[in-house]
Structures are given as structure tokens and as C-alpha cells.
Amino acid sequence: MKKVAPILLAFMLGTGFLLPAKQAAAASYSPSKVISTAKKYIGTPYRWGGTSPSGFDCSGFVGYTFKKNGKSLPRTAASIYKKGKKVSKSNLKPGDLVFFHTYSKGVSHVAIYIGHNQVIHSVSQGVKIDSLSNPYWKPRYVGAKRL
């Protein structure tokens, strides 16, 4: 019993220290922090398959930004679209993800809604802010999700 008690105590303490860390990571997520993080990368160049500040594609940018704020996302726009709860365009809130079809029929582009009918995303010109009323993006809108 003397040998088991220290092991049991160590296990209980170790588990106790891990649980608050997991809860803290989940609690640290905030849409306003996601947007603030995203804005730091305005001007970052576009890079097909890019997932870092040296160059982002759309889903790489969204995934990187959310991961910095405690949420892991799938790698592609189409797979991210399978997550979260659908949100109507009229009910968009900052931090929601907005999806578009660009080069293919299904979802092929993702952006972060920042409010005031605007999104931040990585496009051929790099990370930038665009209006949902933009003549290129408006007809390509597919839907939105809230995580």
C-alpha cells in the first residue's frame, strides 16, 4: 500500500492539473480575439496550400487564426463547412465563417465575418477585408456557419 499511495497521489495531481488547462484552452476562444488575430495578418501574401504567416491560402488562414485562439479546424474550406451550426446571412455575427464557391461547384473558399457586412480572408491579393456586397463575392455566397 505504501508504494501505491504515491503513484495514486501523483496520478490525481497530474489529472487535476491537466483538466484546468483543457478548460482554459476552450474558454480562451472568443470571436473578437479571432478577428483581432486575423487583422494582424492583413497584407500577408497568398500561397496555395499555405498555412503560416509566410503565406496563406483561404483555409490555411482561417485554420491558423482559429488555432491561435484555441479552436482546431479541418484543413479545407469544404471540410470546415461540415462543422458548426448553419447561420442565415441576416443573422451573421463577428467570428462566423462565411463560405463561397469559386473555382468549383461546391464550397471552395472560406472567410471570417468581421461585422458590418465585411469578411477577412486570404485571396490572390493576400489577406484582406472585403464586403459581402462585392460584385465578385456576392453571387458566389454559399452559406455561413457558427462554431
Confirm whether 12 is domain-assigned. no
Q: How many domains does the chain fold into?
A: 1
Residue 88's identity, in one-letter code, is S
Q: Of residues 35, 58, 80, 112, which has the active-site annotation?
A: 58
- 116 given a catalytic annotation: no
Confirm whether 22 is domain-assigned. no
Residue 61's identity, in one-letter code, is F
Domain of 92, in residue numbers: 29-146
What CATH number does residue 87 fall under? 3.90.1720.10
pLDDT digits (tens, 9 = 90+) for 69-85: 999 999 999 999 999 99
Q: Of residues 46, 109, 110, 119, which has the active-site annotation?
A: 109
**Torsions phi, psi for 83 (to 5 deg):** -95, 165
Confirm whether 113 is domain-assigned. yes
Confirm whether 114 is domain-assigned. yes
- 124 given a catalytic annotation: no
Q: Of residues 57, 77, 92, 121, which has the active-site annotation?
A: 121
- 58 given a catalytic annotation: yes
Cell 489577406 maps to which residue? 127
Confirm whether 127 is domain-assigned. yes
Give the containing element (helix H, strand E) for 23.
helix 4-27
Confirm whether 121 is domain-assigned. yes
Q: What is the pTM of this model?
A: 0.82
pLDDT digits (tens, 9 = 90+) for 102-143: 987 899 999 999 999 999 999 999 999 999 999 999 999 999
